[in-house]
Structure 1
């Protein structure tokens, strides 16, 4: 079996289990937090992939990565993964669970990149527009990147709207070069 199919099986089982117990949202938040921590802290990745480290220590590391607060359902899932010696696939399982949960709850993920910080009113207006258009909820991050010089870049799923000044200048430059090449 491939890593992807194993991860999806575990993720589906976790989603079914937490749906029955009514803890799907809490486990979703824990999965997001653990995934972010896993990606940010390379020592956690190394420890989880260390075959000499006892499963109890690995479980304690995961609880510590989540701030010591963990639902019983997520703790049970982690223990199952560790018992089955699948901890090297835990990140893939978390990613699969997050994707399945978002699909089930119709959560759209996106990002807004601006040259200067966007006001909370603008962010809320964009969130409302996305919610109205997609008939679901919107989860997106607002980032500041001074390299775009002005305007914004909005991405939602596979849709990308690049209205940045840097992109507009790049388009004008490209058109100018193409026009001047045809003059020769």
Structure 2
């Protein structure tokens, strides 16, 4: 069965359940934390797919990745139990991402990522988030990353668009122009 179909079905069912109980906001923060845990710790997915690991340990591992030391909400606990009962733990990361997309679409939330060579001040972060929010007519979640390899400038990803104004990319373009020009001369 296709990963996208399975994950979307579970995510839609979770979204409907969360709406019926009125806990979609709390579940969103738990799923966002779980998704970030999958990003930061790739071994988490490997551990969940391990058939030797008992179901109870998988349950506690998922709950810890989602909420830390705090007790997991009833909705998350029931959902994780369902996932483990149906042996769909391999799809959990995709289910999280699908749920986050569904929630953001229902609440008109845009996602942006700003990558710079040096850390950005809080004032600039607020200006960028407010400008993007105003242009898209939606709330914005702005994530910032520091990547010294871009050497300067910034890379701004918003929804499916990318604005790359980094020094490294501009240097690559100039180099490619010189290479193309020299090919024509020879």
Q: State TM-score, norm by structure 2.
A: 0.88
Structure 2 CA distance for aligned equivalents of residues 73 and 108 of structure 1: 25
Instruction: Give CA-to-partner distance per residue, 1:96-150, whole Å, 9 cap, x none.
Output: 1111112212222121111221111111111011100111111122122222222
The residue aligned with 1:143 is 145
Q: Secondary structure at the match of 1:116?
A: coil
Structure 1 CA distance for aligned equivalents of residues 23 and 14 of structure 2: 10
Unaligned runs of 5+ in 2: none
Structure 1 CA distance for aligned equivalents of residues 28 and 48 of structure 2: 21
2:84 to 55, 69, 82: 82
Structure 2 CA distance for aligned equivalents of residues 83 and 122 of structure 1: 47
Q: Secondary structure at the match of 1:15?
A: helix
Structure 2 CA distance for aligned equivalents of residues 131 and 165 of structure 1: 26
Question: Quick check: 1:163 aligned with 2:165?
Answer: yes
Structure 2 CA distance for aligned equivalents of residues 180 and 156 of structure 1: 36
Superposition CA RMSD, Å: 1.9
Structure 2 CA distance for aligned equivalents of residues 62 and 177 of structure 1: 51
Name the count of aligned residue pairs.
184
Q: Counterparts in 2 of 1:99-114, with a 5 A limit?
A: 99-114=101-116
2:177 to 159, 165, 175: 175
Structure 1 CA distance for aligned equivalents of residues 2 and 55 of structure 2: 23
Q: State TM-score, norm by structure 1.
A: 0.89
Q: Secondary structure at the match of 2:143?
A: strand
Unaligned runs of 5+ in 1: none
Distance 1:165 1:39, change over 3 A: closer
Structure 2 CA distance for aligned equivalents of residues 183 and 2 of structure 1: 51
Structure 1 CA distance for aligned equivalents of residues 52 and 58 of structure 2: 10
